[in-house]
Structure 1
Amino acid sequence: MEQLDLFADLGEPETPKPKATITLPKPTAGQWASTLAKPQPQPQPQPQPQPPAGAAPSGRRRPEFSLTPADGPAFGEAVSAAWHRAHGGSRMEIPLGIVATLALWPIKGHARTLADFFRGLDADQLLACVREVAAYWWMRRPDLIDTASVLFAWAEEDRHTEQELSAIRATFRAAIDANALDHTGHADPEMNSWIDLMSWTVTSLRHHTARQGLGEYHTPPEVCDMMAAQIIGNDPDGIREGYSILDPCAGTGGMFRSTAQHLRSMGVDPAKCTWFAQEIDPLAAAGCAVNVIVWGLGPNALVACGDTLAEGGMWRRAVEHRRTMVEHRDDVVARLAIADAVRRVEQLVNGGADAA
């Protein structure tokens, strides 16, 4: 298995400079009851991935397996069932971190080989994979990985019970068997954007009474698709590269996923736009930070965790957070380079002394 290169292609982006902003609304029952009661123009359906049968209409290769958005609920249930069946406990961040690790694994295009690789690892090796993938992306997007740190920090803990280790391995296997790598293992980010795996995992792990208490209701992907199509329309001149897109109550980013896919269908590269998500729930915000990487939303995608109603716009805070984290990353890299240079000098000196 190829080792991840933590220092390859860091490429730090410039600070986002939005030209115009589209704010994505949140639906209410009354709003959509009245809207759906009237005949509405239906957006053109996007082509669904199919098993290999030649080239897709867009010229891209079709994915290796038949995957559709309908697989989302089954995926979430499989991960949740495996975690609870193994008595993993109440720490939702662990199964969510497992899904995030598989989704962010940077070696793409080898789903079957990677699946066999992960299945052959023991619990300690799987923990090392969680740490390694977090380090890999921290080198590239330290701001996003800092926001998502709750999903990876548990792998740094010194002691896990045998019960937890068993549950971790069982959950890794369940996520792989439920096609996590097939959903997120493509070199083309469009093919990784059919399903919001983080949303379905959060929804399945969190009890419905807890969701009610938090006021957490993830918008169904079909509704997100319809809203994105109606808000943006199909006029390439209506929205173009350089626009910024804001979701003040983003959850795990479901509206971003639909919007990015709609932009792609119009020939607009989502990575050339600016994306800003605000979310009050730390676990959902962490999932959103993971998703904007998986979905290829580009260097100008920022995620802030906070209360939109109490704090309002957190754009400046998010930009400052990214600047601080990039400076911290650069400082760590510089100190590592110095430490490595000192180690090499000591080896040379000790080698010369031994020879003498």
Structure 2
Amino acid sequence: MQQLDLFAQLDDDPQPPTPENVITLPRPTAGQWAPVPPRPKQPAGTTDHPERRRGLQFASRPADGPTFGEKVSSAWHHAHGGNRMEIPLGIVATLALWPQKGYARTIADFFRTLDAPQLLQCVREVAAYWWMRRPDLIDTASALFAWAEEEHTARELHAIRATFRAALDANALDHTGHADPEENSYIDLMSWAITNLRHSTAREGLGEYHTPPEICDLMAAQIIGRDLDKIPDDCSLLDPCAGTGGMFRSAVQHVRSMGLDPTNYTWFAQEIDPLAAAGCAVNVIVWGLGTKAMVACGDTLGEGDLWLRAIKHRRAMIEQRDDAKAHMAIAYALGRTQQLLDMASEAA
């Protein structure tokens, strides 16, 4: 698979789906249990994946989903980070969205050298980087990054650094640091982080339970099928109760297994829990669902279809992004003009 072009302009607003071109995915329960997939056997005379061949940049057996979630949660709580789940979730999101792909070990070593204020700057920078490219998704996920703008106590800073290190030690970048989005789609780290950080009573109240990925894979295969004629390029895949997008993870891998490009389709997720919706927005980028993918936070049972609201939100965020870019261009031009005037004055 080729790396998806996430630097391109967003496509025109996806059109509301018609019944014949909609694939509605069933609700998965949050927390996709995805063990590390076995490495495919290489044919005789071939070499391993080029990313792994370059200086062993990826761990041969990274931690699985349950282990990852437990290590992140344990580090946060043992450091007495408090009950603000969005902070450790934002740490996982920052690592998952870090834009330089293909050098997991090098980037992990870089993060380990940083102190807490520098790590906060990394959170701000990765949010700004992706806001310029997918402002609608980053706005939906804003709770995972906004805390980096706040003042933090020494205890919170200690917990932030400890959680960063725990996520790195649990091989976050080995799951999300590939240039190929297909390689980043084997596991839902956001789901496992939420599941382990949230109290069991809260999970029961929200109806969050683990679903084996094999079941999600089976449902995706049964619903989508193998008939290419039934999946036109204007097809929409909808998940009305998406969680962090576990069914999308199975669906996008199934689509890729058919030799199809998932960016040709519209992916629309609705989720009532703001943190789960934020995690889904992060996953949409990490898994390479493309520029026509949208995530809406709202009550599907109470509000119904949120498609039009998501379109309106997308337009507003793009306009806000474009306005910011225009102001930055003007500020740069004025600054450059002043530099030239100063140089001319000194020369005179």
Shared fold, TM over 0.5: yes
Unaligned runs of 5+ in 1: 1-7, 29-46
| Residue type at the aligned position of 1:232 | I
Instruction: Give 1:265's aligned residue.
Output: 257
Q: Determine if the alignment matches structure 1 residue 50 to structure 2 residue 50.
A: no
Quote the Cα distance in structure 2 between the aligned partners of 1:182 and 1:290. Answer: 16
Q: Determine if the alignment matches structure 1 residue 78 to structure 2 residue 71.
A: yes
> Any idea what the Cα deviations from partners look like across 1:219-258, whole Å, max 9, x if unmatched?
3322211211121223333324331000000000000000
Say whether the 8 Å CA contact 1:147–1:286 is kept in structure 2: yes
| Residue type at the aligned position of 2:276 | A
For these two proteins, the number of residue pairs brought into alignment is: 328
Quote the Cα distance in structure 2 between the aligned partners of 1:128 and 1:153. Answer: 12
TM-score by length of 1: 0.86
| Residue type at the aligned position of 1:261 | Q
1:67: how far off?
4.7
Give runs of aligned pairs for residues 150-161 of structure 1, distance below 5 A: 150-157=143-150, 159-161=151-153
Quote the Cα distance in structure 1 between the aligned partners of 2:328 and 2:178. Answer: 32
Q: Determine if the alignment matches structure 1 residue 131 to structure 2 residue 132.
A: no
Instruction: Give 2:138's aligned residue.
Output: 145
Instruction: Give 2:312's aligned residue.
Output: 320
Quote the Cα distance in structure 1 between the aligned partners of 2:61 and 2:265. Answer: 27
Equivalent residue of 2:294, what SS?
strand
| Residue type at the aligned position of 1:65 | A
Mark the CA change 1:27 to 1:139 in structure 2 (over 3 Å): closer, same or farther.
Answer: closer
Quote the Cα distance in structure 2 between the aligned partners of 1:212 and 1:92. Answer: 17
Q: Determine if the alignment matches structure 1 residue 222 to structure 2 residue 214.
A: yes
Give runs of aligned pairs for residues 202-241 of structure 1, distance below 5 A: 202-241=194-233
Equivalent residue of 2:132, what SS?
helix
Instruction: Give 1:347's aligned residue.
Output: 339
2:83 maps to which of 79, 83, 90? 90
Deviates more, 1:237-246 or 1:141-150: 237-246
Quote the Cα distance in structure 2 between the aligned partners of 1:236 and 1:350. Answer: 64
> Any idea what the Cα deviations from partners look like across 1:181-224, whole Å, max 9, x if unmatched?
01001111010000000000000000110112223335332221
1:340: how far off?
1.0
| Residue type at the aligned position of 1:130 | V
Say whether the 8 Å CA contact 1:49–1:66 is kept in structure 2: no
Quote the Cα distance in structure 1 between the aligned partners of 2:45 and 2:112. Answer: 31
Give runs of aligned pairs for residues 170-209 of structure 1, distance below 5 A: 170-209=162-201
Q: Determine if the alignment matches structure 1 residue 11 to structure 2 residue 3.
A: no
Say whether the 8 Å CA contact 2:28–2:243 is kept in structure 1: no
Quote the Cα distance in structure 1 between the aligned partners of 2:221 and 2:147. Answer: 39
| Residue type at the aligned position of 2:25 | L
Unaligned runs of 5+ in 2: 1-5, 30-35, 53-57
TM-score by length of 2: 0.88
Quote the Cα distance in structure 2 between the aligned partners of 1:66 and 1:234. Answer: 32
RMSD, matched Cα: 2.4
Mark the CA change 1:189 to 1:55 in structure 2 (over 3 Å): closer, same or farther.
Answer: farther
Quote the Cα distance in structure 2 between the aligned partners of 1:248 and 1:217. Answer: 17
Instruction: Give 1:282's aligned residue.
Output: 274
Identity fraction in percent: 70
| Residue type at the aligned position of 2:160 | I
Say whether the 8 Å CA contact 1:55–1:61 is kept in structure 2: no
1:101: how far off?
0.4
Equivalent residue of 1:108, what SS?
coil
